[in-house]
A and B are shown apart, each in its own frame.
Chain A
């Protein structure tokens, strides 16, 4: 690559100035190789939950009608338990080594159909409580959380405790997110 500069004299003498592009190309090649090696090709995503900072007001007037209990999923070592009311609980035992996510999804979708978006008690119908026993891995909880968001429960409350200390059904007091 060359740049032709016209000389100032009237003889039209041209001065060919050659730009040495080799160091520039070397630099770009090194930079390119470095960026391609260190680039994070995976697009990082996130699932957001919002925690309730202030405790519930004890002086708040009681609701006029009985509130709809939120959908509760209890993640236990031996399987899942899911229901809105403790008396209507569905036990979903493990299939071999893994949890039966297909069955859990089926029950969750059925609940969403019964209490769709726009339900008169929307706040409660949109909420899911994920109650996780100690010893259950973060991945198992995240799979339930991801499934619930995908099906359409925008509000999540995370709760849990030692196995046996948490009863099946909605917990008495929120212990986690909103």
Chain B
């Protein structure tokens, strides 16, 4: 341990001495260079992280649709055809609103406009796969995924009619978009811990 003589010391070394030090070239200069490399590094990493976050989302929640919260929902990783049902019962298939005149009577089970559109999408996909040399196995149900994003306040009757129309168009796999119910999950975790104790 070095022995130092007690006495007053300045909190900072005098600016003049710093300027005159060998680090700044040994002469008095008013130029102070900031090392920006760590900041640029941090920015780059943040940008890469955010872009990765964007690319991992196969679907984004539509602004005016409030999707339900669920504990059992699995992360949506596969891409699919998006169908949105808003709280007023308006239906959008791949960003195109289905006119009310094509939805059939409210008492009907089938929505002709929805069924027709989904059939066209399926046929176009099957045609593309055929051209690419990987035709669909006709003995198995169609593998395309219909992602249903419905508002919590929508009447389930409308969603049920959509499901029936999708079935009519040959779509077997349906996914209901949800958001994780973190509140319920954490309360369940707390209850489990309490039960263990």
A80 to chain B, nearest CB (A): 14
Q: Scoring A residues 8 to 45 as 1 if CB is less than 8 Å from chain B, else 0, what string do you get?
A: 00000000000001001100110110011001101111
Instruction: Indicate whether A48 sits within 8 Å of B47 (C-beta atoms), given known contacts A39-B54, A177-B163.
Output: no
Interface class of chain B by DSSP: mixed
* Chain B, 155-197, CB within 8 A of any chain A CB: 155-157, 159-160, 163-164, 166-167, 170-181
* Chain A, 38-90, CB within 8 A of any chain B CB: 39-40, 42-53
Interface bin, chain B: 35 or more
Binds A, one of B9-17, B67-75, B113-121: B67-75
In the bound complex, CA of A22 to CA of B104 (Å): 60
B179:A1 contact, CB within 8 angstroms? no
Binds B, one of A91-99, A112-120, A121-129, A134-142: A134-142
Question: A residues within 8 A CB of B167?
Answer: 51, 53
B141:A53 contact, CB within 8 angstroms? yes
Question: A residues within 8 A CB of B141?
Answer: 53
Asked whether any CB of chain A lies closer than 8 Å to the CB of B27, the reply is no
Asked whether any CB of chain B lies closer than 8 Å to the CB of A108, the reply is no
Tally chain A residues at the interface, Cβ within 8 Å. Answer: 45
B179:A28 contact, CB within 8 angstroms? no
Residues of A within 8 A of B (CB): 1-2, 21, 24-25, 28-29, 31-32, 35-36, 39-40, 42-53, 132, 134-143, 145-146, 149-150, 158, 160, 175-177
- 16 CB-based A-B contacts, threshold 8 Å: A25-B39, A25-B40, A39-B50, A43-B179, A45-B70, A45-B180, A46-B73, A47-B175, A47-B178, A52-B172, A53-B170, A132-B160, A137-B156, A142-B68, A146-B71, A146-B181
| With A45-B179, A176-B160 already in contact, 20 other A-B pairs whose C-beta atoms are closer than 8 Å | A1-B35, A24-B40, A25-B36, A25-B40, A32-B50, A44-B58, A46-B74, A49-B175, A51-B166, A51-B172, A134-B156, A138-B151, A140-B156, A143-B68, A145-B70, A146-B73, A146-B181, A158-B163, A160-B160, A177-B174
Residues of B within 8 A of A (CB): 33, 35-37, 39-40, 43-44, 46-47, 50-51, 53-54, 57-61, 68, 70-76, 85, 141-142, 147, 150-157, 159-160, 163-164, 166-167, 170-181
